[in-house]
Amino acid sequence: MNVTIAGMAGGGGPTCSEAECLEYNTTYSLYRSEPDDDGNCVWKCGFLDQDCAADEIIATLYLDGSDYKLKVELGGHVWEKDYGETKPDLCTLANESLTWQSDTSGCNSSSATCVVTMVDGDVPCDCGPPCENCIDGVGPPEFLLTFSGITRNGGLCPNCDNYNDSFVVFYDEAVSTPTNCAYLWTGAGLFCDAGGSAPTDTFGLSLFTIGGVDKIQVGTSGTNGFVLWAREVTFPLDCNSINELELPVSFEAFPGHICDFSTSIVKVTALP
């Protein structure tokens, strides 16, 4: 994200000189940071050469009641735009002018402008995580997995039908790489609790290449062993448009061990 400040002037006080204030008039390249404690999207540029009134510039997209707002803070200098109840499309944001709100430190920003533009390669948090296997290098934040055709096998598991449901897997930054994009869901005690234990079952979705073959794959592990559903695809894939893509079973570590997955399928849908 590029943020351009223009029109900053001296404040006439002892804190910052006119020359120091004028140095804030430039374009800053902000990087996407971790969401804040309220889960808001945050971009930052810290350790600025100019440290008279501020040494960091921060942009935040947040929800104020039912209104979406984009705010830029340069120390006590604040600019903001109110989008109302319509969430802005940050992926296409260009030359967006924010309105000056306050000036509480060092320089005079009351007549200064603040313009925000997403640049090539930006990955806004509501546009999805980085994934080179997807078109434009961006994947969806989440996928919906819908399982069907899983049945009870031999009485070892009384609730195999619990698998025939929908689950949301979230992008897993800890294990993902640019060419192996991973999504994960983990739950406890949902399946095959006949023995009184509280097993943990994990669903994962991956977009990866193995042996020169591009694949989208869903796997589960836990009480029921290890099962994979997969389909060959061609990268880059239009990941954000995937809608009920059917994956058949491709591997079972323990066929018929507890539940019968042999004729099951999983439908994959990208979520915005």
* Block mean pLDDT (10 aa), the chain, length 272: 93 76 89 74 74 80 92 93 91 93 85 92 67 86 91 73 87 86 78 52 91 94 76 95 96 70 93 76
Q: Is the dihedral of CA 63, 64, 70, 75 positive or negative?
A: negative
Q: Is residue 192 part of a domain?
A: yes
- Specify whether 21 is located in the same domain as 72: yes
- CA 212, distance to chain mean position in Å, is 28
Q: Which of 90, 117, 144 is the last residue of a domain?
A: 117
**What's the pLDDT at 254?**
63
- Specify whether 68 is located in the same domain as 142: no
- Specify whether 240 is located in the same domain as 139: yes
**What's the pLDDT at 238?**
93
Residues near 179 by beta carbon (within 8 Å), at least 6 away in sequence: 132, 133, 208, 209
- Specify whether 156 is located in the same domain as 265: yes
- Specify whether 165 is located in the same domain as 207: yes
Number of structural domains (the chain) is 2
**Per the structure block, which two tokens stand in for 270?**
């990208």
d(CA 177, CA 170): 15
Q: Is residue 123 part of a domain?
A: no
**Per the structure block, which two tokens stand in for 214?**
């591009």
- Specify whether 100 is located in the same domain as 160: no
- Specify whether 226 is located in the same domain as 157: yes
Q: Which of 117, 151, 168 is the last residue of a domain?
A: 117
**What's the pLDDT at 60?**
94
d(CA 215, CA 195): 36
- Specify whether 265 is located in the same domain as 144: yes
- Specify whether 173 is located in the same domain as 244: yes
d(CA 180, CA 157): 33
Q: Is residue 129 part of a domain?
A: no
Q: Is residue 152 part of a domain?
A: yes
Q: Which long-range contacts (CB under 8 A, 24 or more apart) does 167-176 make?
A: 167/203, 168/142, 168/143, 168/144, 168/271, 169/142, 169/143, 169/145, 169/203, 169/204, 169/205, 170/141, 170/142, 171/128, 171/129, 171/139, 171/141, 171/142, 172/204, 173/129, 176/129, 176/131
Helix (H) or strand (E) holding 72: strand 67-74
Which structural domain range is residue 36 located in?
2-117
Q: Is residue 149 part of a domain?
A: yes
d(CA 89, CA 118): 10
Q: Is residue 217 part of a domain?
A: yes
**SS3 assignment, position 80:** strand
- Specify whether 207 is located in the same domain as 86: no
* Alpha helices for the chain (secondary structure H): 18-22
- Specify whether 18 is located in the same domain as 111: yes
- Specify whether 166 is located in the same domain as 50: no
Nearest-5° Cα angle at 25, 60 to 7: 95
**What's the pLDDT at 124?**
65
Q: Is residue 44 part of a domain?
A: yes
Q: Which among 254, 211, 253, 252 has a CA at the least distance from the CA of 232? A: 211
Q: Is residue 112 part of a domain?
A: yes
Tokens 């059917």 found at: 246
**What's the pLDDT at 125?**
64
